Chain A
């Protein structure tokens, strides 16, 4: 058993036993869903279906139904793509990077953060696919021998790197998540009374029995997957940023993009985790496992990554002037003072100023304030991508080509629809899956549980 310093706040509050942990996590799955769940699910489903309808219309009519024009050829679609991929960075960061750093507080949040990651990457992946216009030929992005002569996809292109990065990230995150879920499904299986539930969880749990040798492999597989997923997290958003950074558009052609995008991704991902978990802990009575200390730790991550993002914004501004490239300088002047000034200053306020408030201990430990800031950050990070993409494009080199972007209702419908679909997935997850990593939480119960830490035996040496 591992011990930790007495002054560290316990990670599991109250007097919990192993059985209590099982009960607390399994009860919401076994009980009837509360009315609120049906209401939220209904709303999410309606919004999601509206989004699906918009996508159908888009596929039937063509990408022309978006508010794009010949100057602004990329707008909401790629903004949404980058936004969702960014949100999808917290889960694997929490489960992989924090596992390597042996941060035990991750155990209460990693399962739901990973689920969020996977659903966010689903939503992200939708945008490049529908942007093709012909969804059914999406497999053309793979290097397949084909009927057009020996024509291959371009391996020099960051867009193809993206195909590999996103699909690797999605599938590896999915595997990482599922490997952790198997033992917990076994717990639900062994408790299940209804035959259908028993059968379902029995299939999902792959016959897991908890043998010593299996646990030995389990721990190594988790560690190696964490080791593989850690550079993967950083590579994915670096590659997403290459979509812009390797172009020659002033405002995009920036070497700072990879680290700046990665920090922004973690920033927005943690904000989304806060938004979801603050509601979930309350709705599912998990306050003993996800409490103020966890929220504070996440707020510190938000503060650090938010500061990196802020520094990157200011560096970008400085370099655009210092480089002496007038197009570059103009792109940034135009962002701050041009027709899209409101988007720029919304981004600055949400992403630079709001995380700095987390320096105050009182604020970063306040759940209401955290919830508010998490929404602000999510809005700010959407604007960041919008600013980077649209303001860099809308004033072309020739003033005659200058243009503005106005989203069509399909633009808006598809975006709002992905938010609905995301919540449909997340609500289903919260209903049928163990939202806490049971087996991992049990391993830290004796080391970090309140009742154990307060017992007189805790600090005796064995």
Chain B
């Protein structure tokens, strides 16, 4: 199915935000916003939900803590209890103080790397991936809104143009995609 994409470019984040508010209030769906830095407050306007990566980090951390505990208990208590200065490792709990540093480090290690890898995979930002921003200036000082015709089927292109005109954009670009 063929579709038309409208790229509306702004040179200020505040103007884009005000413009987005106007468009959304008229019932227009904004598919995406490209910006050189995070625009604070844009997410609720265009309907981007708060990410749940934080929960993932917690789960990865928990995994790390569990692995560290199981591992150290096996190495130091079950498999080869070391007898240091007449104080053998008979139980994990009695020796837990010595195991805290590595438990902590391993928790942090797993949480940080697990989250970072998940983040890169979710974003589909990996080495060698092609850039997808519509204009190279969006990583410098320009801000672009992407509106798809198919997602705003209640309006004609002319209606859309009329509403977009009021947002204070600096450039507009249209592309047909298949």
Q: Which residues of A contact B (CB under 8 A)?
A: 1-2, 17-19, 22, 143, 150-156, 158, 160-161, 164-165, 167-168, 171-172, 175-176, 179, 182-183, 186-187, 189-191, 202-221, 224-225, 228-229, 231-232, 235, 239, 242, 438-440, 442-443
Chain B, 123-143, CB within 8 A of any chain A CB: 123-133, 136-141
State whether A205 touches B131 (Cβ < 8 A).
Answer: yes
Check A165 against B113 for contact (C-beta < 8 Å).
no
Residues of chain A contacted by B140 (CB below 8 angstroms):
18-19, 22, 187, 190-191
What are the 4 A-B residue pairs with the smallest beta carbon separation, nearest first? A207-B129, A18-B141, A190-B136, A215-B38
Q: Once the chains are docked, how many angstroms separate the CA of A414 from the CA of B148? A: 61
Among B1-9, B114-122, B151-159, B162-170, the stretch that binds chain A is: B114-122
Residues of B within 8 A of A154 (CB): 82
Question: With the chains together, A407 CA to B101 CA distance in Å?
Answer: 33
Chain B hits for A443, CB < 8 A: 37-38, 40
Chain B residues lying within 8 Å of A220, measured Cβ to Cβ, are 50-51, 53-54
Contact partners of A187 in chain B: CB under 8 A = 36, 139-140
Question: How many Å lie between the Cα of A171 and that of B14 in the bound state?
Answer: 37
* B residues apposed to A, CB below 8 Å: 14, 32-40, 42-43, 46, 48, 50-51, 53-54, 57, 61, 71-72, 75-76, 79-80, 82, 84, 89, 95, 98-99, 101-102, 104-106, 108-109, 111-113, 115-116, 119-120, 122-133, 136-141
Question: Taking A18-B36, A143-B75, A179-B119 as contacts, is the C-beta distance between A209 and B133 under 8 angstroms?
Answer: yes
B174 to chain A, nearest CB (A): 19
What is the distance, in angstroms, from B21's C-beta to the closest C-beta of chain A?
13
Residues in B neighbouring A153, C-beta threshold 8 A: 75
- Chain B residues with CB under 8 Å of A239's CB are 101, 105
23 contacts between A and B (CB under 8 A): A151-B80, A155-B99, A156-B76, A156-B82, A161-B105, A164-B101, A164-B102, A164-B106, A175-B112, A175-B113, A183-B139, A190-B133, A206-B125, A206-B127, A207-B131, A208-B125, A211-B32, A221-B119, A225-B115, A228-B57, A229-B112, A232-B108, A443-B37
Cα(A221)–Cα(B52), bound, Å:
10
**Apart from A168-B106, A216-B38: 13 A-B pairs, beta carbons within 8 A:** A152-B75, A160-B102, A161-B101, A190-B136, A191-B140, A203-B127, A206-B128, A207-B131, A210-B34, A211-B33, A224-B111, A232-B108, A439-B36
Docked-complex contact A171 and B57, CB < 8 angstroms: no
Note all chain B residues with C-beta closer than 8 A to A172: 108-109, 112-113
Q: Are A228 and B84 in contact (CB under 8 A)?
A: no
A residues within 8 A CB of B128? 202-203, 206-207
Q: Given A156-B98, A216-B48, is A207 in contact with B136 using a C-beta cutoff of 8 Å?
A: no
A204: chain B residues at CB < 8 Å are: 127
Q: How far is the CA of A318 from the CA of B56 in the complex (A)?
A: 48
Give the CA-CA distance A152 to B75 in the complex, in Å: 6
Question: Residues of B contacting A210 with CB < 8 Å?
Answer: 34-36, 133, 138-139
Chain B residues whose CB sits within 8 angstroms of the CB of A219 once the complex forms: 38
Query: Closest residue of chain B to A162, judged by CB?
Result: B101
Report the bound CA distance from A176 to B14 in whole Å. 29
Contact of A161 with B102 in the complex, beta carbons under 8 Å: yes
Complexed CA–CA distance, A207 and B127 (Å)? 7
CB <8 Å contact, A189 and B131: yes
Task: Specify which chain A residues have a CB less than 8 angstroms from the CB of B105 in the assembled complex.
Answer: 161, 164-165, 168, 232, 235, 239
Chain A residues lying within 8 Å of B61, measured Cβ to Cβ, are 228
Decide: A224 and B57 in contact? CB cutoff 8 A: yes
A305 to B141, CA, bound (A): 39
Q: Which residue of B lies closest to A188 (CB)?
A: B139
Contact of A19 among B43, B106, B141 (CB under 8 A): B141
Complex-state Cα separation, A191 to B141, whole angstroms: 12
Task: Tell me the complex Cα distance, A418–B48, Å.
Answer: 48
Interface pair A171/B131, CB less than 8 Å apart: no
A residues within 8 A CB of B99? Answer: 155
Give Cα A182–Cα B53 distance, bound, in whole angstroms: 18
Residues of A within 8 A of B122 (CB): 217
Q: A143-B75, A205-B131, A235-B105 are in contact. Are A215 and B35 (CB under 8 A)?
A: yes
* Contacting pair B39 A215 (CB below 8 A): yes
A189 and B136 CA atoms in complex are apart in Å by 9
Chain A proximity of B137: nearest CB distance (Å) = 7
